[in-house]
Amino acid sequence: MTEVTDERTSGRGPKIGDLFTRANKAYDSGDYEAALRLLSDALAIDPENVVALNNKGAALDALGKHDLAESCYRRALALDDGYELAWHNLGNCLFAQEEYGGAAKAYARASALNPERAENFIGIAESHAELGETRRASAAIAKIPPKEDDSHLLTQADLYLSVQLGDKAMRCCEQYVSCHPDDVAGHVHLGGVLQEIGRYKDAIPSFERALKLSPDDAQIWNNFGYTCFCAGKTERALAAFDKSIEIDPSYKHAWYNKGYALHGVDRLEEAVECYREALKIDDKDRVLLNNHGNALYNLGRYAESIPSFVAAITADPNYEIAWNNIGNALEKMGIHAEAIPFHDRSLEIRPDFDYALYAKGVCKAAIGDVEEGYDLLLESLDINPSYDEAWKAKSSVARQLGRMDDAISSIDRALTINPELCEAWIDRGDLLVAVGDGVGAEQSYARALKCVAKAIAASPSDGEPWRIRAETLVRVGRHADALDAAVRAVTSPHSDITVLPLAFDVCRLSGVDGPPQELLKAVKACAAPAPLLAYARYLGARERWGDVVDILYSRDMEELTPASRLLFVKALTLLGDPEAADSVAADSPKPERARLRAEIEMNAAGKEFAADRLEEILSKWPSDHAAAMCVAKGFMEKRAFRDAIVAAETAIGSDEADWEPYEIIADAYEALGMTDKSDEAKRRAGQLLARCADQVCGAGRDDA
C-alpha cells in the first residue's frame, strides 16, 4: 500500500501546471522534500486544488509525517467527496498510523468509487486482518478484481495465508498452476503456501518442479532446502543450501539457513562457521547475530557468545531476546547478580516476556532473593504454563523455601509436560529422598537413566547427557560408573566441563588414588573456578597440601567459596606458614574471619582448644556450616564420637543438601559399632553428593 500521487496538472494557468510536473518528477525520484516545496507553492496559488492537496499528502506520508498527510487528504475530500485516489491514500495513511478501523472504511469508500482498483480491496483485507476480523478480510480478498494473466490468484493466496486461511491460499495457487504449468512463480508460491501451513513433504514436489524450470535460481534452492529441513530431510536440505551458495556465494539467507539446519542437528561448530559467513555479508542482521551467539552459547562458550548478543542489540536496541540472552550467558558463567539488569532491560521492552521472567527468577533465587525469585517464576508460568523448565525451576525454589508439597507437585507438572526432561527425574528423586520415599526416589532415578540413554543415542557428540548420567549414577551409589560417565562428558566433541566438580568429589568420596587423566587434562585447560576448587578439595583429601596451595593461590580471593578459603588456610598452616594463612583470613569476608583463624589454631596448635573456640563461634552463628563442620571434626579428633554426630547434624541443619556431614556421622557411628546407622549415613552421603551446595563446596549443579 504505497502512497499515490495524481499525475493531473490542471490548475490556474501554466505556472501551476509546471509546479505539478516538477513535483511529480521529484516525487518519482524520491526527493520528497522538493516535491513538498513545489506542491506548497502550487497550493499558495490555488489553496483548493484537490490534486495538489492529495499529492502533498503523499509526499508527507513518504516522509513519515502521517498526521500532516492525513490533514491534507481530509481537506481534499472536504472539497471533493468523490475523489477516489484521496480516499485510497487516506486509507494508506491511517493504516501506517495503525488506525485499522478507519483505514478499512477509507479503502471501502475508495473501492465503491473505483471497484477496478485491486489495491483498494487489498487495503480492506489487510486492515481487517490487523483487526483480527478474518471473515471480513476473506470477503475483501474474494472481491479483488481478476487480471488477464491470473496474477490476482497469487495475490489472493498471499492474503489468505496472512489470515491463516491456508486451504483457500492453496486452492488459489493450484488454480494458477493449472492455468500456467510452466510458470515458475506458481510452483514457488504453491510450495511456499504448503510450507507455511506445515505440509513440508507436500511442498517438496512444488519446489522440485520450480527448479526444473529454473535450475539456477539461488532463492528457490534456498527455499527448497528450508522445506527439506522442516520435513526432516537434513542431508538433502544441506545439499540444497550448498547449491544455492554455489550459485550465489553472497546470498546471506542460504548461509544463514544452512547454519540454522546444522544448529538444529547439533553440528554446532559448523553452524557457527555458516553464521560467520552470513555475517560477512550482513553484520547488522539482529536475528543472524543472535543465532550466532546462540550457537556459541550451546557449545558452552558463554563468554564468547556475549559479543554477538551485544552486536544484535547494537543493531536493534529494542531486541528483547538478545538482551535476555546476554543475561542467560552471564548466568551460565555463574554471574547471577550481573545478569539481572539484562533480564530487566528485556522486560522493559516486553513486560510479558515469559522467558525473561523465568531467567530473572532463577537469578534472584541464586543470589538469595528466594521469595522474589519464586514470585517471578509464578508470573512467568501465568503467561506460559507449558514451559517445563520454569516448572522445574519453581520446584527447586519451592524446596529452598521448605515448601516440599509445592516442590513435588511442580516437578510432576514439568514431567507431565515433558516426560523426557532427564534432570527433572533426578530432582524428583531428590525430593522423594528428602520426604522419606526411598522407593519412589529409586524409581525416579531409574527413569532418569532411561531418559538420558535416549538423549545420548540422539546426540552422541553432546557431553551434557553424559554429565546428567554421572549425576544420576552417583545418587544410586554407582560411583565407578559415574566417573566413567564424567569422563565421557568432558571428552565428547561438545564437552560439558560442568561435570568436573562432581567428578572430583566422586574421586574424593570413593578414595580414588588418582583421577582419570582425561579429568586432569580438562581441569587444567578450564578457567572456571568451580572445577579447580573441586580438584583442590580432592587434593586436600589426599593431603597434597602443596598442590592445594598452588591451585588456590592462582585464583582471586573473590572467586573462592567459604569452604575453599577454609581449605586454603588449613593447607598453608600444615605447610608451616601460619602467617600466610592469617593473611588469607584477614582478606576474607568479615563473618568468616573468626572461624578461619580458629582453623589455623586447630592445625597449628592444640586441637582441643581450637574445638572449644569453634563451639563458641557456633553459639554465635548457629547457621555457620563451616564452623559446625570444624566442631564435628574436632570432636572426631578427640574421639568424642557422639558429640561429633551432634555437631555434624548441626551442619546438616544449616545446609540440608550437603553430603559431607553424613560422612562424619557415618565414621562416628562406625567407630561406635553402630553399623546400620553408619550404612544409612553413607547411603545418604552418596545420594546427596551431586547436590553439594555452591556456598559450601563450589560443586553445586546449576539448576538454571
β-bridge mates for residue 462, sequence order: 494
Q: Positive or negative CA dihedral for 448, 453, 459, 461?
A: positive
Q: Answer whether residue 455 is part of any domain.
A: no
CA 171 to chain centre: 38
CATH number of the domain to which 138 belongs:
1.25.40.10
* Distance (Å) of CA 83 to CA 2, 482, 641: 17, 80, 100
Would you give the distance in Å from CA 201 to the centre of its chain?
29
Q: How many domains does the chain have?
A: 1
Residue 105 is part of which domain span? 1-145
Structure-derived torsion over alpha carbons of residues 51, 52, 54, 56, reported in degrees to the nearest 10: 160
- Does residue 96 lie in a domain region? yes
In angstroms, the Cα distances linking 177 to 138, 158, 171, 172, 401 are: 21, 15, 10, 9, 64
Residue 421 is which amino acid?
L
C-alpha cell at 250: 553472497
Cα–chain-centroid distance for residue 354? 11
pTM of the model: 0.70
- pLDDT, one tens digit per residue, over 151-165 is 899 999 999 988 889
Stated length of the chain: 704
The strand pairing partners of 381, in sequence order, are none
Residue 86 identity (one-letter amino acid): A
**How far apart are alpha carbons 643 and 262 in whole angstroms?**
60
Give me the residues of the chain with pLDDT under 50, please: 1-2, 11, 654-655, 690-704
Q: What is the pLDDT of residue 1?
A: 37
Q: What is the pLDDT of residue 660?
A: 78
Q: For residue 200, what is its C-alpha cell?
A: 513440508
User: Cell 490468484 appears where?
Assistant: 153
Domain presence at residue 303: no
Per-residue confidence (pLDDT) for residue 2, from 0 to 100: 44
> For residue 220, how far is the Cα from the chain centroid?
31
| Long-range CB contact pairs, 565-570, < 8 A, 24+ | 565/592, 565/596, 566/595, 566/596, 566/599, 566/626, 566/630, 567/536, 567/537, 567/540, 569/596, 569/599, 569/600, 570/540, 570/545, 570/599, 570/603
Specify the pLDDT at position 530.
74
- What beta strand segments (E) does 210-271 contain? none
**Does 205 reside within a domain?**
no
Spatial CB neighbours of 571, under 8 Å, sequence gap ≥ 6: 540, 545, 546, 548, 549, 552
| Distance between CA atoms of residues 107 and 126, nearest Å | 10
Nearest residue to 343 (alpha-carbon basis) of 334, 332, 330: 330
**Dihedral of alpha carbons 13, 16, 22, 28, sign:** negative
* Distances, alpha carbon 148 to alpha carbons 176, 178, 179, 704, in Å: 12, 15, 11, 60
Determine whether 46 is exposed, middle or buried from the number of CB atoms within 10 Å of its CB (0-12, 13-18, 19+). middle
pLDDT of residue 14: 62
Q: Is 132 left (phi over 0), alpha (psi -120 to 50) or beta?
A: left
* pLDDT tens-digit series, residues 562-591: 778 888 888 888 888 888 888 888 888 887
d(CA 325, CA 310): 9
Cβ-contact 684, 430 below 8 angstroms:
no
Amino acid at 460: P
Residue type, 180: H
Start-to-end CA distance of the chain, whole Å, equals 46
Residue 595 lies in a domain: no
Residue 56 φ/ψ, nearest 5 degrees? -65, -40
The predicted pLDDT at position 700 comes to 31
Name the DSSP letter for residue 499: G
Q: Report yes or no on 321 lying in a domain.
A: no
Rounded CA gap, 539 and 177, in Å?
A: 74
Residues 6+ apart with CB under 8 A from 646: none
255, part of any domain:
no
Residue 634 lies in a domain: no
Task: Give backbone dihedrals phi and psi of 613, rounded to 5 degrees, phi first.
Answer: -60, -40
